[in-house]
Amino acid sequence: MKLFCKYALLIFVIQIFFSPFLHSQNKKNKYHFTKEKHLKNIRMLTIGGENAEAYLSFDDKKLIYQSSYGKYKCDQIFTMNLDGTNKTLVSTGKGKTTCAYFLPGDSTIIYSSTHLADENCPPPPDRSHGYVWKLYETFDIFSANTDGSDIKQLTFTNDYDAEGRSINFVMPYHPSMDGNIKQKF
């Protein structure tokens, strides 16, 4: 399953960065790079906006991912079926979100959000030297049911609390206590 998660994330990266080049490569499968020997049956699951960090549910039936498109100018958390149907907003639709995962049993999700500090998007990072992910101190980790209901705040610091994920029922996270990201267990 870990291998499939990596391939699912790779598909999203390919879509975002290589889409114009891939469209002309292969008429049979317009998302397949002809020199790629490891991936096949590549399908675009999202259209428009920015879509990233897609992870599989434990039953391998759904993806959870962050996206900014349409009325959502900041990344929000969505789920969808593996065929791209049933896209559902599961975060609040406010603030900026990241790092969403299903927990074992697939009835609960976790994600990080800035929505308690401000319902609006935080200021964007300086990208004059390339891609940058800003470590907003207003990120906290939340849990919710897979439909987005019953939101519970899990972290309560004024640090960058994100990157929570379920690993054998242990949830590590990265607060930025002294300006450096450290992993806590």
Q: Is residue 38 part of a domain?
A: no
Q: Is the pLDDT of residue 26 over 50?
A: no
The model's confidence at residue 14, banded by pLDDT at 50, 70 and 90, is low
Domain that holds residue 66: 1-18+52-125+132-185
Q: Is residue 178 part of a domain?
A: yes
What global pTM score does this model have?
Answer: 0.74
Rounded to whole angstroms, how far apart are CA atoms 78 and 40? 25
pLDDT at 24: 43
The percent of residues in the chain predicted with pLDDT above 70, rounded, is 73
**Contact partners, residue 183, CB within 8 Å, separation at least 6:** 172, 173, 174
Rounded to whole angstroms, how far apart are CA atoms 148 and 78? 9
Residues 85-96: pLDDT tens digits? 999 999 999 999
Determine the average pLDDT of the residues in 115-120. 96
Determine the average pLDDT of the residues in 153-157. 90
Q: Is the pLDDT of residue 157 over 60?
A: yes
Q: Is residue 6 part of a domain?
A: yes
Q: Is residue 149 part of a domain?
A: yes
Pair 181, 135: CB distance under 8 Å: yes
Q: Is residue 33 part of a domain?
A: no
Q: Is residue 45 part of a domain?
A: no
DSSP assignment letter at 121: P
Q: How many domains does the chain have?
A: 1
Residues 43-76: pLDDT tens digits? 888 888 888 899 999 999 999 999 998 899 999 9
| CATH code where residue 83 lies | 2.120.10.30
pLDDT at 37: 83
pLDDT at 180: 53
Residues 159-168: pLDDT tens digits? 888 877 654 4
